[in-house]
Chain A
Amino acid sequence: MDSTELLRKLSECVEMGKVNKDAPFPPAMKGMDGADELTKQALEMGIKPIEILNDALISAMEKVGEKFSQKKIFVPQMLISAKAMNASMEHLKPFFQSGEVKRKGKFIIGTVAGDLHDIGKNLVAMIVEGAGWEVIDLGVDVKTPKFLQAIADHPDAIVGLSALLTTTMQSMKNTVSEIHAQYPNIKLIVGGAPVTDAFSKEIGANAYAHDPQGAVSYLNAQVA
């Protein structure tokens, strides 16, 4: 198998959610090498980590994000693709840490104060990571000081705020203005089931993302 073919196969494994050889899903790929094995093989073959990231993982996760936006696939398929991506990323971690592979930037994400929902926030984190960003996940029920601390630690990051409840939209509003009061130039992107573009404008966020791919489009535009 040449390097182009190997990267194409790896990309397909991530898109279809084939984690490793033993993974039962998807049934059509039973017994075949998955993202785990193919990434190992690619590195052994001498393919550069940056090529693996760009030409296999990012392109696959972009397709996954687009299909999710169009509702051609749903949450389970997206999760299983993210799992395959993570299996591959494990092998790339040393290159991120050594600085050999640079990511596009940093993205801090958290569900706002008073809101304990994490499914939507996790989906965004996975897709953004799959798009080549370093993700700093602050978890759920994140109060403003925790966001401020994370921004102090990563001053070049873009920040994402998630809310599922209509009541916690108010926390989102407070956190946006408190962050901007201290860091007027930090870019804030908001999303979640009850959140709309109009709401994001009213509270002074820099952008609204309707779905994970929307967050990726905004982030990528900031570094293009």
Chain B
Amino acid sequence: MWRWLLFVWIAGFIVLAFTWAPLVPVLGPTTRVLYFHIPAAWVTVVALGWSMLHSVLYLRTRRMEHDDHAAAAAEIGLLFCITATVSGAMWAKAMWGAYWNWDPRETSIFFILLIYAAYLALRAAIDDPARRARLAAIYSAVAFVTVPFLIFVVPRIYFSLHPDPLLNTRMKPDMDPRIVVGFLGMLVGVTGVYFWAQQLRVRVVRLERRLHLI
């Protein structure tokens, strides 16, 4: 039931964003990438934080379900990270003329991709489930330490061409309120998609383990 609600919600806000919300003068039609790109980047941080949270919980309680959550969140976070990277690269091609030119934002998100790809590589190299859960949790907790640096610190130290429309240095949105409405709606919708995917993935992992036991 609420899956359909999510579908209608996102579809509605996409229509809203494309018909009702105005375009930002300099950005032109590329304004609309913000309804997908920023929520994807936001969900990346949420998912990786979720992975870190459950890693810490695993280390405290040693319950395998926390490891399921941590692994699923890292996998899905990586997918959303790729989405944000690719949509950003497409926008960069339209605005800056090149898909990739190592702008601080591009560099940061690429580092995050590599760090969490290493997390999956580490998991793949350990056979014993309890040991895999423990070592992966240690790595995931350390890996998340780098995320605030890469997302929030680096782009503010080095000069970046990346627009900062929502959380700019004055900490207030200087966008048209209609864009803000569309953006926040998409943010909620995409976050909903993430938690739906997360719950599906955790269920799959659990079923796989039960199958393994039989």
A and B physically associate: no
